[in-house]
Chain A
Amino acid sequence: MEVKEKDSKIDKLGVLKRISGPVVTAVNFDAHMYDVVKVGNEALMGEVIKIQGEETIIQVYEDTSGIRPGEPVVNTGLSLAVELGPGLLTNIYDGIQRPLSVLVDKMGNFIERGVSAPGLPHDKKWEFKPLVKEGDKVIGGSIIGEVQETNIVHKVMVPPNQKGGTVKSIKSGSFTVDDVVCVLEDGTSLTMMQRWPVRVPRPVKEKLNPEIPLITGQRILDGLFPIAKGGTAAIPGPFGSGKTVTQQQLAKWSDAEIVVYIGCGERGNEMTEVLTEFPALVDPKTGKPLMERTVLIANTSNMPVAAREASVYTGITIAEYYRDMGYDVSLMADSTSRWAEAMREISSRLEEMPGEEGYPAYLAARLSEFYERAGLVITLAGGNGSVSVIGAVSPPGGDFSEPVTQNTLRIVKVFWALDAKLSQRRHFPAINWLNSDSLYLDTLHDWYDREVSPEWNTLRSWAMEVLQKEAELQEIVQLVGSDALPETEQITIEVARMIREIFLQQNAYDEVDTFCDMKKQYDIMKSIKLFADLSATAQAAGVTPSQIIGSKAKNELPQIKFIKDYKPELEKIAKEMDEEFNALRAAA
């Protein structure tokens, strides 16, 4: 695929005719769809979204107060594109890739308008190390060199829309992103930076089926409902059910090499929390600050709505760029509902015929296009890379039947259903184990067999069965009380309680419990299973359920979660459980 330079003969200057909030109309103006334009005397940034007869309709990324009919409109002839190159990591951008720190320097503490700022630092010099030499053949997407960006090595690539050729000369040393580092025989000169239009997916050689889980350190996710690297997941939930905390936990602990976090139409203070927390947090794998592998995009709810619409594309394009270098990238979008609402707002200003609940008829298409940009791929350079997309959905009133949730669920493979009832009783993460789902279980089966334990998959099924059984039993308990249950089922209820309180509940704010690796997850689950097995044998030997439920040793199990070096303690508890049950059996 190729991004063509726009025709230079078109009339680049037009006149504003109408202003209605973020949507303005220009006349006497030639433009192509999605061209970036400068609107009014203050040259506010906008994008062409509709062409109708004489009129060109533009969405403006900044506040339009005070703009009058008759002011000029200038076409840049370019599509909305991002700058890709070293300097992206650790940065925090608004929806159209303006670095927020630069904006503070240029216009103070509040977001004013009419200020442009390049996405990458253009004055900073980077140490470029060539990886190809003169005479080597390169193609679009080939890696020609590298730069130590943070602790992450940034691969410098031939832009994927160029055909490449033979390297005529390549330099080594310290350069800015604008300096030419490589020249091809046909005269093409390459820098460390490329621009890519955000609405166009970056090309790959091949898409593969994901087979490795994205380890998140969250027990309910890794253990019960895993997402694969290159997979898609949705977290729908009413407000206050812990969507944002879950997203942030994923951003912090998932074993992706690069994290792109999009705060799309969300709270300002929450973005600040991320901003203050991430630099202080240490990546468990590299020992470096998490910020070094993170790109943040923050377009809060009160920032211009059109930029919110663009923020999701800006984020996924950056994610794809690092994927092309061969990295595993995970992208969190919080929240896709706000993105959909931005589309709705723009659509209603355009007076388009609305679909369901006022959302535009193309809502489903936009959502699926977005999620389809996820995947495990063979890159143009021949390596493996992946983008996993995790989108939060905020259904109004917690009603999952609304259009954004429904259209998202049709596309994604993993569904983590947040439940306000659970969060009300402080069961965190408040993910409902009965309503959640992962379609990757089959493809990841072998990985768990190999990397965790051959027993794991059975253990997981056992836990799910117990939880399912508990849900059925709870209905009876609600009617007749727990004493009326048969003895074996009283034990089931107890075991289910342990699975819920010990395995599923996880404290994101506890130093140790915030991240739990697969080995520990396995050990915890196995201890609960041990209790279940001991109970079953004891019961067969005539021990009463109240004696079993009243046994003491198991009460120490929850503490395991908060101990870093948990093994000795866990073995001790297992031994005590064993002894206690021996005594119970002997007495029975």
Chain B
Amino acid sequence: MKEYRTISKIAGPLVFVEKTEPIGYGELVNIVTFDGTIKRGQVLDTSDNLVVVQVFETTAGIGRDSGVRFTGETIKMPVGKEMLGRILSGGGKPIDGGPEIVPEKRLDITGAAINPYARASPNEFIQTGISTIDGTNTLVRGQKLPIFSAAGLPHNNIALQIARQSKVIGSTEPFAVVFAAMGITKEEANHFMKDFERTGALERAVVFLNLADDPAVERIITPRLALTTAEYLAFELGMHVLVILTDMTNYCEALRQIGAAREEVPGRRGYPGYMYTDLASIYERAGIIKGLKGSVTQIPILTMPGDDITHPIPDLTGYITEGQIVVSRELHRKGIYPPINVLPSLSRLMNLGIGKGHTREDHKKVSDQMYAGYAEGNDLRGLVAIVGKDALSERDRMLLEFADLFEQRFVKQGYDEDRTIVDTLDLGWDLLSTLPVEQLTRIDRDLISKYHPKFKAGATKE
């Protein structure tokens, strides 16, 4: 392989190489520094006299004397069944002291887009055991449902609880967890690892760790390596794979860093104009393919800078993913775990996975009614602060009460509490029965007479 020593410029993570043979766009590049260290990079721009290489590690040690080798192929990830139970670096190298991965296949990490025609519609209900997700923001297999959180909130515990408790009722098909950490602290990583070990989840997990002190640019490939692995496990080995990506905010920061180094025209708040397309190339790698057994379900976690949901990172994410679970500082302060605020939360695929044949026929309407009640009750809190409780009408007082009950009983649950969907829906009915029945305008009478605790068979008539 030819080695060039024609580096003309190094700026941040970018290395400019002159006078090369024709080099392919997106090719994998190895740069050899004076002490023999090999740094990996990728071709970002290629022309007949200049090649721009983005290096995935620190450029410390790279100089005019470094050798540049173009490998002639795009970045590939060696994958194999043995990867389960392994811990790899953010760049895909084993860091658990175990042997190198023996690859069964080497796959391009960019991953091609799934042909929409080949996709199967996701409709299998995943029971996470968390009422605010199962009851009101249902997760289904093949969905991408991010957690929008902020600094200092227990999003990691929520993700762990989901990873631990998730199951498809009545299914015994093999499943796996792929966990990709981007720029999280060692402490956070330990928290995840400990929990994986405690519950035995590590055996069926593949872990990629790019920690806070690892090179930021490496974060660009970490999620792609993780998803390539996930796709292999899902679509070649037929497993149901849950992918947890944390923290996407760090990924986007890395993206911005490279954009700035390339002197690109920035979009909103300095993030590159193509961030939507770039994020889509990650988030869209979830789903089910017709005729294949496995599935990829994604739970990306991101921390909203300044708790601001309109910040470009949560904003663009929300436009690509199929809903979002929003973690609220206010609920967290009230001591409610999991502090999921259902009002801005949403699961777009919920309707495909609930109702008769999936969960229960009353699911949708119970959920809508609770949303409406909680939203109205929550609004009234502002009013109470001004006029006091006594100035409220009877109806408003009941809604206010309902909002409190909803938070204390429906939202709040234990870190190890695994509620079945029937428990969750019955709990919903219990709460709704505190409201006068004529206020349940979103539920038809048949369902009321069947499930309402005051009317259902066996209930004592008032």
Contact = CB atoms under 8 A, between A and B. Distances in A.
Contacts of B44: 20
A269 B387 contact: no
A100 B115 contact: yes
Given A111-B115, A268-B287, A301-B284, A357 B265 contact: no
A559 B387 CA distance: 35
Nearest to B312: A396
Contacts of B343: 424-425
Interface in B320-348: 320-324, 343-344, 346, 348
Interface stretch (A62-70, A72-80, A432-440): A62-70
A483 B119 contact: no
Interface stretch (B371-379, B425-433, B450-458): B371-379
A69 B372 contact: no
B117 A100 contact: yes
Interface in A327-368: 338, 341, 344-345, 348, 354, 357-358
B316 A19 contact: no
Contacts of A484: 391
A239 B315 contact: yes
A65 B110 contact: yes
Interface stretch (B165-173, B204-212, B438-446): B438-446
Interface in B261-276: 264-268, 273-274, 276
B353 to A, nearest CB: 12
Contact of A110 (B113, B290, B312): B113
Interface stretch (A2-10, A217-225, A271-279, A381-389): A271-279
Nearest to B444: A562
Interface stretch (B19-27, B79-87, B246-254, B412-420): B19-27
B193 interface: no
B112 A70 contact: no
Contacts of B26: 64-66
A68 B383 contact: no
Query: Could you say which of A272, A397, A477 has the most chain B C-beta atoms within 10 Å of its C-beta?
Result: A272
B315 A67 contact: no
B116 A358 contact: no
A37 interface: no
Interface residues of A, number: 80
A111 B111 CA distance: 10
B349 A269 contact: yes
A90 interface: no
Interface string A222-250: 00000000000000001110001000000
Interface residues of B, number: 86
Given A92-B117, A426-B371, A69 B48 contact: yes
Interface string B116-141: 11111110000000000000000000
Interface string B58-91: 0000000000000001100000000000000000
B320 A424 contact: no
A341 B276 contact: yes
A302 interface: yes
A101 B22 contact: no
Contacts of A1: none
A186 to B, nearest CB: 43
B378 to A, nearest CB: 9
Given A239-B315, A240-B344, A424-B375, A19 B25 contact: yes
A103 B112 contact: no
Interface string B15-34: 00000001111110000000
Contacts of A68: 22-25, 46
B289 A396 contact: no
Interface in A128-159: none
A238 B27 CA distance: 38
B46 A18 contact: yes
Contacts of B143: 269
B120 A272 contact: yes
Instruction: Please report whether the interface of chain B is mostly helix, strand, loop or mixed according to DSSP.
Output: mixed
B238 interface: no
Interface in A10-29: 17-21, 25
Interface string B333-371: 000000000011010110110000000000010001001
Interface in A79-114: 92, 100-101, 103-104, 108-112
Interface in A252-274: 263, 265, 267-273
A25 B47 contact: yes
Contact of A301 (B112, B280, B349): B280
A287 interface: no
Contacts of B352: 273
Contacts of A341: 273, 276-277
Contact of B25 (A64, A269, A481): A64
A111 B112 contact: yes
Interface string A419-443: 0100111110000000000000000
Most buried by A among B114, B122, B343: B114
Given A17-B47, A425-B372, A239 B318 contact: yes
Interface string B191-227: 0000000000000000000000000000000000000
B368 A426 contact: yes
B371 A267 contact: no
Given A68-B46, A481-B387, A559 B444 contact: yes
B391 A483 contact: yes
Contacts of A399: 310
Contacts of B27: 66
A112 B311 CA distance: 34
Given A240-B324, A273-B352, A348-B273, A420 B24 contact: no
7 contacts: A18-B48, A69-B46, A268-B113, A301-B276, A424-B343, A484-B391, A509-B351
